[in-house]
Amino acid sequence: MKQHIPNAITMLNVFSGCVATVFAVLNQLELAALFVFIGIIFDFLDGLAARLLNVHSDLGVQLDSLADMITSGLVPGIVMFQLLGMSQTGGWNMGLASGVTETMRWSAAKIPTLLPFFGFLITMASGYRLAKFNIDENQATSFIGLPTPANALLILSLPLILFFHHNDYMNSIILNPWFLVGLTLLSSFLLNSKIELFALKFKNWSFKDNALRYIFIIVSLALLLTLKFLAVPAIIVFYVLSSIVTKASDKTL
């Protein structure tokens, strides 16, 4: 019976990804982000449950990647599609309700070019990365390339910054089509790069053995408390840079 528990949790990730997909298609990007975050929590919990229960299966590995393909692969691609559409149409609805700015929308019927479809490069790169991960036996304690959940959080942070920070300067950057195209290319590259990144997997609770992980968690919490949604891109940058620096330091020792 216990061997089915991790897979059941993974199916909750699948469900969260399906709900997030619906909201992303409807351009309810803040709700899409919420369910992607919930799905990523389930993605963490299924692996934790498998380790605690000491149950592992090939089915679980495949199911986990298929769930990630929805939650952390398809949804970010749709979100980038929507953001690229916004950058092309300028179709913002700034109507006020009870003094609160409504979320900003655009109409898919107004897409003047094919540029928004470029956002699905993220989905394709995510699928390629997940397929490689399933056949790679060298990523048990670390990752080669940016994990799809981390990439999903990066992409989903953009509409949250737009909707909740109300910063005209940041909005102008995020809705710049060149910025979005550049981020799409960077995201796709990082997903399938050869950069070795540490995994947040604790074999024990010793600070000495997990110093980098504890420092990363503390810095991430501090950034979230001070910068809110703006912290997400900063955390991803810190994650990549700290991994590169640590790896370089290890090689010189």
Closest CA to 186 of 234, 157, 154: 154
Across the range 60-84, mean pLDDT stands at 94
Residue for token digits 């960077």? Answer: 186
Burial class (CB in 10 A: 0-12, 13-18, 19+), 60: buried
Measured distance CA(171)–CA(160) in Å, rounded: 11
Beta-bridged to residue 196, according to DSSP, are 144
- 111 contact partners, CB below 8 Å, separation of at least 6: 85, 88, 89
E strands present in 22-103: 96-97, 100-101
Give the CA diameter of the chain: 61
pLDDT digit string, tens, across residues 149-205: 999 999 999 999 999 998 889 999 999 999 999 999 999 999 999 999 988 776 667
| Measured distance CA(136)–CA(122) in Å, rounded | 21
Ordered by where they begin, the domains of the chain are 2-90+103-197 (1.20.120.1760)
pLDDT band at 113 (very low <50, low <70, confident <90, very high): confident
Alpha-helical (H) ranges within 69-165 are 75-89, 121-135, 148-165
Which pTM value belongs to this model?
0.86
Using DSSP, state whether 70 is helix, strand or coil. Answer: helix
| Residue with more model confidence, 90 or 127 | 127
Mean of pLDDT values over 28-38: 96
Low-confidence winner among 32-41, 102-111, 192-201, 206-215 (lowest mean pLDDT): 102-111
Token digits for 243? 């991994």
What pLDDT is attached to residue 234? 95
Q: What mean pLDDT is predicted for residues 123-150?
A: 87
Burial of 185 (0-12, 13-18, 19+ CB in 10 A): middle
Sign of CA dihedral 202, 203, 207, 212: negative
pLDDT tens by residue, 43-59: 989 888 887 888 888 78
Which of 80-94, 140-154, 229-243 tops mean pLDDT?
A: 229-243
Q: How confident is the model at residue 143 (pLDDT cuts 50, 70, 90)?
A: confident
Query: What per-residue confidence (pLDDT) applies to 253?
Result: 56
Is the CA virtual torsion 51, 52, 58, 63 positive or negative?
A: negative
Rounded to an integer, what distance in angstroms lies between the CA atom of residue 111 and that of residue 90? Answer: 10
Take residue 123 and report the two structure tokens written for it: 């989905």
